[in-house]
Structure 1
Amino acid sequence: MNNFDDLFEQQPQNETVPRKPEPQAEKPKKQWWQVKEEKQRKEAYAALDGVFGAFSEGRGDMKAYLDTQSRFPFHSARNAILIGQQYPAAQRVGGRKEWESQGIEVLEDEKRLPIIILEPGKAYRREDGSVGQNFYAKEVFDIAQTTARDEAQPQVSYDDRLLLKGLIASSPVPIRAVDELPQGRGAVYDPEQNAILVKKGMDAPDIFRCVSLEAANVQLAKNHEGYSREAEGYKAYAVSYMLCQRYGVDVKGYDISRLDGVLQGQDPREEVPAALTDMRDTFKEMNGRMARAMGLTRASRQKEQER
């Protein structure tokens, strides 16, 4: 060993000094309104899950949904359900700013009783590459919750000829009058003629009911490849009912209770919402054509925003 080796042997080894963990940046605390919105959003989703689950189990209330949707054609099926769940008698809803823009105020006692609906937010991309949609809660109020609650709401009635003019315009195929139809039916779609045949001599309400049913079936088949009238005809029945409700046509002959179980066994997260959306979209499409043909402006129908 040379004279310097012992120096290296005696050299103390450097000790690794443990580093103190860097403090993690604290997440900013949520503002009160963010906490409130998140709570409202979760409650809205829970309410929808409850309704979809009830339909899937065969104990849904289809009439409650259809009656509300018929008054709110510009709102999604989900929002129509939410409105109906929270305020069954709602006729016209809007946010506080929407009401204020019309010179109408939400009543002080009603400000703590908003109707919660879901508004679309930013889209996002999932891990599998598909695009998802965020939603956030929005507070709206029915006209009965505002200073306009005591204003007389006009009762709208439509002339029979105007109503049938609108119905003809709502149909995706021509409508032709014939002397007779098989099996005592009032209207039937003839695929060879690509037209709805309607029996002569019926009164306007009967024409409206039977033709709207056939037109809804044709529209659904047009919008959805593989549509089965036998399996999915209940959707057209629901659309016909909503159109009658919308335009004041007697609906006593409709047995909507038989639709309560049609979605039994279907997936409450996918299939049930999809079926209700099919009804709503078809109703909205046909209602839009009717309204334009009848010369109804958006303001005269309802001051609503599409959801």
Structure 2
Amino acid sequence: MNISDLIKNKSVRDQAWLEERRAERGNLSEMRDVALEEITTNPEMYQKYLDLQANNISCSAGNVALTLFQLKGATKIGTISFWHEQGRYVQDEAMKSGAKVFVPSRNGQRRGYLMGDYYDVSQTIGRPIKEPVPLIENTARMETALGALMNYSPVPIVEQGGMPTPARYDETHLCLAIDPSYGELEVFSALATEIGYAQAHDKGRNIDFDRETYRVDAESVSYMLCRRFGVDCKPPQAAELAQLYEGYEPSDRGEALEQLRKTTRNMGDGIDRAIQPRQQERSRRHLGAR
């Protein structure tokens, strides 16, 4: 075989490898679309998605959906490098059984996403996972968290006693009322939901605003936020989930879930910075794509 044949053979192998990778990316994209449709149609799957997304709020909605459908029972997930940062290592026998996901290139000059793997904490060994400290009633930390959460209300917050719920967004007067007779944890949960309504109404600029239309979204943000801080919160009432997402393309479903994730993470990070500013500053360098 001469040099020309070697070059031709290499070109053929390279082309075959590229085509195989394209096919794998296409299959993974299709799996993501199927997962997103199932999650936004089936209330039971939606609840499982919210639990996994809340536990991994820095992971994209699409990657959480992919992981949910590949790693049954997953709770805490991340790439090999993410687990290394946590002082944990993926076990050898689990290396080939991760969830295929899309991850950004480590080369900052390269645009787009590559295929990578997520592993669940159950597939790793090493340093114990540091569990988040839950918010506790009648503590300075709880008070600080509530104050930080209030900052995310786009409308004025007013005090109003005798309400049937701890908090309520008034779309007529464009304000958010809180009844201080309720406990702080109850207020936190209700306030997070009502802020979701207020943000959706956009100070009255959203003329199509209707509480029922935005109920699942508002309750989902509150649920994920409360789960992050160990606050009891009822799961969203998602019986009408299929109707809510009717007519949505998979990409639109993914974007809707991603927006909920970003909103939840933004609020949660702001609360974290308020209640533990030094730790948040140190850990900020380690956040990013997982």
Evaluate the alpha carbon distance shift between residue 203 and residue 191 of structure 1 in structure 2; reply closer, same or farther with a 3 A threshold: same
Of 101, 123, 134 in structure 2, the residue corresponding to residue 145 of structure 1 is 123
- Tell me which structure has the larger Cα radius of gyration: 1
Work out whether residues 117 and 138 of structure 1, in 8 Å CA contact, stay in contact via their aligned partners in 2.
yes
Q: Deviations 1:220-261 (Å, cap 9, x if unpaired)? A: 34499636233223211111111121111223x335442532
Of 80, 100, 103 in structure 2, the residue corresponding to residue 119 of structure 1 is 103
Work out whether residues 115 and 140 of structure 1, in 8 Å CA contact, stay in contact via their aligned partners in 2.
yes
What displacement does 1:113 show? 0.9
1:285 and 2:288 matched: no
Work out whether residues 58 and 261 of structure 1, in 8 Å CA contact, stay in contact via their aligned partners in 2.
yes
Of 158, 169, 178 in structure 1, the residue corresponding to residue 135 of structure 2 is 158
Matched residue count:
269
Q: Secondary structure at the match of 1:205?
A: helix
What displacement does 1:216 show? 1.6
Whole-Å separation in 2 of the counterparts to 1:188 and 1:205: 15
Of 40, 54, 57 in structure 2, the residue corresponding to residue 70 of structure 1 is 54
What's the TM-score, normalizing by structure 2? 0.76
Work out whether residues 61 and 261 of structure 2, in 8 Å CA contact, stay in contact via their aligned partners in 1.
yes
Of 91, 99, 113 in structure 2, the residue corresponding to residue 135 of structure 1 is 113
Whole-Å separation in 2 of the counterparts to 1:295 and 1:103: 22
Whole-Å separation in 1 of the counterparts to 2:250 and 2:87: 40
Work out whether residues 188 and 196 of structure 1, in 8 Å CA contact, stay in contact via their aligned partners in 2.
yes
What displacement does 1:209 show? 1.8
Evaluate the alpha carbon distance shift between residue 89 and residue 148 of structure 1 in structure 2; reply closer, same or farther with a 3 A threshold: farther
What's the TM-score, normalizing by structure 1? 0.72
Work out whether residues 177 and 197 of structure 1, in 8 Å CA contact, stay in contact via their aligned partners in 2.
yes
Which amino acid in 2 is paired with 1:238? S
Q: Deviations 1:7-55 (Å, cap 9, x if unpaired)? A: xxxxxxxxxxxxxxxxxx7845238986775455334312212123335
Which one scores higher on RCO, CA 8 angstroms, separation ≥ 6?
1
Give the stretch that moved more between structures: 191-200 or 46-55: 191-200
**More helix per residue:** 2
What displacement does 1:214 show? 0.7
1:258 and 2:239 matched: yes
Give the stretch that moved more between structures: 139-148 or 262-271: 262-271
- Within a 5 Å distance, the mapping from 1:1-307 to structure 2 comes to 27-30=11-14, 38=22, 40-54=24-38, 61-100=45-84, 103-120=87-104, 134-148=112-126, 151=128, 153-154=130-131, 156-160=133-137, 161=139, 162-170=141-149, 171-173=152-154, 174-181=156-163, 184-190=164-170, 194-222=174-202, 226=206, 228-230=209-211, 231-251=213-233, 253-258=234-239, 260-295=241-276, 297-298=279-280, 304-306=287-289
Evaluate the alpha carbon distance shift between residue 164 and residue 90 of structure 1 in structure 2; reply closer, same or farther with a 3 A threshold: farther
Evaluate the alpha carbon distance shift between residue 272 and residue 201 of structure 1 in structure 2; reply closer, same or farther with a 3 A threshold: same
Whole-Å separation in 2 of the counterparts to 1:113 and 1:167: 41
Which amino acid in 1 is paired with 2:165? R
Work out whether residues 58 and 260 of structure 1, in 8 Å CA contact, stay in contact via their aligned partners in 2.
yes
What displacement does 1:169 show? 1.4
Unaligned runs of 5+ in 1: 1-24, 123-132
Work out whether residues 119 and 136 of structure 1, in 8 Å CA contact, stay in contact via their aligned partners in 2.
yes
Evaluate the alpha carbon distance shift between residue 57 and residue 294 of structure 1 in structure 2; reply closer, same or farther with a 3 A threshold: closer
Work out whether residues 216 and 239 of structure 1, in 8 Å CA contact, stay in contact via their aligned partners in 2.
yes
Give the stretch that moved more between structures: 31-40 or 227-236: 31-40
Whole-Å separation in 1 of the counterparts to 2:284 and 2:135: 13
Unaligned runs of 5+ in 2: 1-7
Work out whether residues 37 and 136 of structure 1, in 8 Å CA contact, stay in contact via their aligned partners in 2.
no
Work out whether residues 92 and 304 of structure 1, in 8 Å CA contact, stay in contact via their aligned partners in 2.
no
Give the stretch that moved more between structures: 294-303 or 101-110: 294-303
Whole-Å separation in 1 of the counterparts to 2:190 and 2:57: 21
Work out whether residues 95 and 140 of structure 1, in 8 Å CA contact, stay in contact via their aligned partners in 2.
yes
Whole-Å separation in 1 of the counterparts to 2:235 and 2:69: 22
Evaluate the alpha carbon distance shift between residue 59 and residue 28 of structure 1 in structure 2; reply closer, same or farther with a 3 A threshold: farther
Work out whether residues 104 and 289 of structure 2, in 8 Å CA contact, stay in contact via their aligned partners in 1.
no
Which amino acid in 2 is paired with 1:140? Y
Which amino acid in 2 is paired with 1:78? G
Which amino acid in 2 is paired with 1:148? G
